[in-house]
Amino acid sequence: MSLILAIESSCDETAAAVVKDGRTVLSNVISTQIETHKKFGGVVPEVASRKHLEALNPVIDKAVVDAGIALSDVDYIAVTYAPGLVGALLVGVSGAKALSLALGKPLIGVHHIRGHICANFIEHPELEPPFVCLVASGGHSHIVYVKDYTEYEVLGQTRDDAAGEAFDKVARVLGLGYPGGPKIDALAVEGDENAVSFKKVRFPNGSLDFSFSGIKTGVINHCHNIEQKGETVNKADIAASFQKSVCEVMVDNLLEAASLKNCTKVALAGGVACNSRLRAELNKRSLGLKIYYPSPILCTDNAAMIGCSAHYESLVSNFADLSLNAVPYLGIDLK
């Protein structure tokens, strides 16, 4: 049996969880900074680091109490060390190293994107690799071939904005507030998704890469044109049309990746995987494929997913030592 205390602090959520044998979550505590960053319209890195410092110890204490264990019961200490905001990551990494040293427990450094993918293993106990996964969050948009629990191959990724970033920026243009994804998702229900045609970008030569900045610019130009004519912008129509365009292209690439790798299983992960239109698009088009996505609380940043990934890293003895550092950019295929 393995009992892992996992820590996550890569962006604006301070989180700790206790995970048993990779897939059983004994506790999952998340302290979000959304209210703090709302007034700035996005995450302010320095503010995020300071908030993590305040929240980290109480969040860890609560995770241990909620799990009904003593800190000394844990077998491993796991922490997100890459990628993310470097100052934010450093808080979690420093806390994890201190615990590892004080308790004499091995340390495991976890890649944040691998963590997002592993949220699917928690949600679906029967799920096993190989499968292809779309990871779409505020900082990342990747199509990943999950060969094995610790073997990942990137098949495509964004060449500019991440999908969640595009949702957040378009929401800002429409004056909907931060974070934009859930606001656009909710408003789009009232709109006509065929009202405006926003161009979907597909790259040639079978590339599975994405580009979302053009759609974002398309929304800005569309709003300006309407305003210049003295007409009122129909925010619901724009939200729905933008969302349709982004979701369709993500599912296009995911299904193409499944066919490329002969996979019968496809998964979603990351904050954008909460999106109802994305889930509906995948459900509609994935005939013959088994589809997986985590429940919303496991899609957005949390430490349970980090504990799950750490379990599989421990099985291949991928341990860190006290020289572990925060790494702001790191490919998912690198260790």
Residues, the chain: 335
Q: How many residues bind ligand KG4 (CB under 6 A)?
A: 19
Q: Which is nearer to ligand KG4, 105 or 244 (CB)?
A: 244
| Strand (E) or helix (H) holding 136 | strand 131-136
Burial 287-312 (b: 16+ CB within 10 A, else e): eebebbbbeeebbbbbbbbbbbbbbb
Q: Which is nearer to Zn ion, 241 or 275 (CB)?
A: 275
Determine, following the binding rule CB under 6 A, whether residue 272 of this chain makes contact with ligand KG4. yes
Q: Pinpoint the alpha helices (H) of the chain.
A: 34-38, 45-67, 86-103, 112-123, 163-173, 180-188, 213-228, 235-260, 276-285, 296-299, 304-315
Q: Please, are residues 191 and 238 in contact by the beta-carbon 8 Å criterion?
A: yes
Determine, following the binding rule CB under 5 A, whether residue 243 of this chain makes contact with Zn ion. no
- Measured between its terminal Cα atoms, the distance across the chain in Å is 24
Q: Measuring CA to CA, how many Å separate 126 from each of 121, 162, 212, 263? A: 8, 30, 34, 16
Tell which one of 123, 237, 256, 301 touches ligand KG4 (CB under 6 A). Answer: 301
Which two tokens mark 329?
Answer: 């950019």
Determine, following the binding rule CB under 6 A, whether residue 314 of this chain makes contact with ligand KG4. no
Compute φ and ψ for 147, nearest 5 degrees. -70, -40
SS3 218: helix
Determine, following the binding rule CB under 6 A, whether residue 274 of this chain makes contact with ligand KG4. yes
Q: How far is the CB of 54 from ligand KG4 (least distance, A)?
A: 20
Determine, following the binding rule CB under 5 A, whether residue 301 of this chain makes contact with Zn ion. yes
Q: Which is nearer to ligand KG4, 172 or 261 (CB)?
A: 172
Q: Measuring CA to CA, how many Å separate 171 from each of 81, 168, 184? A: 30, 5, 6
Q: How far is the CB of 102 from ligand KG4 (least distance, A)?
A: 29
Mask for 112-141, x = binds Zn ion (CB under 5 A): -------------------------x----
Determine, following the binding rule CB under 5 A, whether residue 165 of this chain makes contact with Zn ion. no
Tell which one of 270, 289, 298, 306 touches ligand KG4 (CB under 6 A). Answer: 270
Q: How far is the CB of 140 from ligand KG4 (least distance, A)?
A: 6
Tell which one of 83, 115, 129, 179 touches ligand KG4 (CB under 6 A). Answer: 179
Determine, following the binding rule CB under 6 A, whether residue 138 of this chain makes contact with ligand KG4. yes
Determine, following the binding rule CB under 6 A, whether residue 181 of this chain makes contact with ligand KG4. yes
Report angle CA 294, 113, 126 to the nearest 5 degrees: 40
Determine, following the binding rule CB under 6 A, whether residue 95 of this chain makes contact with ligand KG4. no
Determine, following the binding rule CB under 6 A, whether residue 238 of this chain makes contact with ligand KG4. no
Determine, following the binding rule CB under 5 A, whether residue 33 of this chain makes contact with Zn ion. no
Tell which one of 180, 191, 218, 294 touches ligand KG4 (CB under 6 A). Answer: 180
* Tally of CB atoms within 10 A around 318: 14
Catalog residues that contact Zn ion under the rule CB under 5 A: 137, 301
Catalog residues that contact ligand KG4 under the rule CB under 6 A: 11, 137-139, 164, 167-168, 179-182, 185, 270-272, 274-275, 300-301
